[in-house]
């Protein structure tokens, strides 16, 4: 539901209307005692904060995460939130209930800049929210609704100098124009896939190979650094042991430091395994290609653009400022697809010309 563009409050309402038990009521139905608000009389009344927590639960991917919280000492029972960089993550420990690709898609969507409601009384979202970025300053584009003509919905750079930002241009684009452009681009991709599936696969293969080479280089460098650090820790431990034997370091300090070195060594061991597992996975590049091709085939069957399909296919969209005047007005829209970035489509038709507003046409360049 999140990938489809539904917010936490909307998801909570749908769960309540569908009479899905809230977590506390579910645990109680299974005879499990859990903490939580015991005064909740309606076992189906979901809270948006619960939905938010569930959407961020990485453990559902099969991972174990330690040290999310800590206490200052054993006498103080209060748990303090630990910074994320101090967490210890162990992947694929147990059977997942959410596939990692879906989870990561949701995290990317949630990590986007907060969306500004066009009107507090009529809060509204658009399926392109969180996907559009300014080509000049890199800032996200905000969704707006024209007033009093509420039929006109558009996006504009959140960093525009007219709104106390620093970007020189508005980077204005209408939401309906974006939908038409994206639909035409996907139809073109679908036609390419239908006409020459092998050529389509070859283009994805070439894109995949470039991405894999970059990922492999990064992982190999990370493995080398982790192995080098492991050797350094081993040397430090040996020196510490010698100092302890010679009476330079007392027992208490030796125990504290040795535990620290052992913990780091164990952490490095886990990291090296994870890096090597990821490196092994890069040898099989089929996953991204299959997911992308499957999503294009879905569009071939539906012929309409949905929020879920859009987020399956698109990583981000760069919006350039409008150039030219009169009949020569043009605007570049660059689509970065998931897994592959910008795809050059050899069967793409001519650029599309749409009305940005009544009587004012713009030619949209998508390559």
Dist CA 2 CA 60 (whole Å)? 16
Residues 6+ apart with CB under 8 A from 71: 77, 78, 79, 80
Question: Can you give the residue range of the structural domain that contains 74?
Answer: 63-102
Residues 270 and 293 in one domain: no
Residues 194 and 295 in one domain: yes
Domain end marker among 283, 303, 329? 283
Residues 149 and 209 in one domain: no
Q: What is the pLDDT at residue 113?
A: 41
What end-to-end distance do the CA atoms of the chain give, in Å? 32
H/E element holding 288? helix 286-302
Domain end marker among 254, 283, 312? 283
Q: What is the pLDDT at residue 224?
A: 93
Please state the domain count of the chain. 4
H/E element holding 36? none
Q: Would 230 be classed as within a structural domain?
A: yes
Q: What is the pLDDT along the chain (367 residues), one digit of tens a residue?
A: 998 888 888 899 999 999 999 998 888 888 887 766 665 678 888 988 899 999 999 999 999 988 888 776 655 667 788 887 778 888 888 999 999 989 988 988 887 645 444 444 445 578 999 899 999 999 999 999 888 888 889 999 988 887 667 888 889 999 999 999 999 888 888 888 888 888 888 888 777 666 677 778 888 899 999 999 999 999 999 999 999 899 898 988 888 888 888 888 888 988 898 888 877 766 655 567 777 888 888 888 887 888 888 988 888 999 999 988 877 889 999 998 887 778 877 766 667 777 666 556 788 888 6
Inter-residue contact 50 to 25 (CB < 8 Å): no
Q: 162: alpha, beta or left, given left = phi > 0 and alpha = psi -120 to 50?
A: alpha
Q: Would 107 be classed as within a structural domain?
A: no
Q: Would 111 be classed as within a structural domain?
A: no
Residues 152 and 299 in one domain: yes
Place of tokens 């960093």: 159
Residues 258 and 237 in one domain: yes
Q: Would 113 be classed as within a structural domain?
A: no
Residues 6+ apart with CB under 8 A from 180: 352, 354
Dist CA 332 CA 138 (whole Å)? 15
């Amino acid at each position: 539901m999140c990938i489809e563009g539904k917010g936490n409050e909307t998801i909570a309402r749908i769960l309540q209307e569908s009479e899905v038990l809230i977590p506390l009521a579910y645990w109680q139905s299974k005879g499990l005692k859990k903490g939580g608000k015991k005064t909740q009389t309606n076992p189906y009344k979901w809270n948006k904060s619960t939905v938010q927590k569930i959407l961020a639960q990485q453990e559902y991917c099969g991972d174990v995460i330690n040290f999310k919280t800590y206490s200052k000492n054993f006498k103080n029972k209060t748990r303090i939130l630990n910074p994320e960089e101090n967490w210890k993550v162990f992947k694929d420990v147990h059977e997942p209930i959410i596939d990692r690709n879906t989870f990561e898609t949701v995290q990317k969507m949630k990590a986007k800049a907060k969306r500004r409601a066009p009107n507090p009384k009529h809060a509204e979202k658009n399926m392109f929210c969180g996907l559009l970025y300014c080509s000049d300053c890199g800032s996200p584009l905000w969704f707006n609704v024209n007033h009093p003509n509420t039929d006109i919905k558009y996006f504009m750079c959140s960093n525009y100098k007219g709104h106390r930002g620093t970007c020189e241009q508005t980077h204005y684009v209408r939401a309906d124009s974006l939908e038409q452009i994206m639909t035409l681009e996907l139809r073109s991709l679908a036609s390419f896939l239908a006409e020459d599936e092998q050529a389509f696969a070859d283009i994805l293969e070439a894109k995949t190979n470039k991405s894999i080479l970059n990922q492999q280089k990064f992982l190999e460098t990370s493995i080398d650094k982790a192995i080098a650090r492991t050797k350094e820790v081993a040397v430090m431990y040996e020196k510490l042991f010698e100092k302890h034997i010679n009476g330079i370091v007392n027992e208490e300090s030796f125990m504290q430091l040795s535990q620290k070195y052992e913990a780091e060594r164990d952490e490095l061991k886990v990291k090296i395994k994870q890096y090597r597992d990821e490196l092994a996975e890069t040898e099989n590049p089929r996953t991204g290609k299959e997911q992308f091709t499957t999503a294009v085939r879905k569009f071939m069957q539906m012929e309409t653009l949905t929020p879920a399909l859009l987020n399956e296919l698109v990583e981000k969209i760069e919006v350039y400022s409008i150039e030219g005047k009169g009949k020569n007005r043009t605007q570049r829209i660059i689509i970065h697809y998931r897994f592959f970035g910008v795809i050059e489509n050899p069967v793409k038709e001519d650029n599309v010309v749409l009305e940005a507003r009544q009587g004012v046409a713009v030619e949209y360049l998508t390559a």
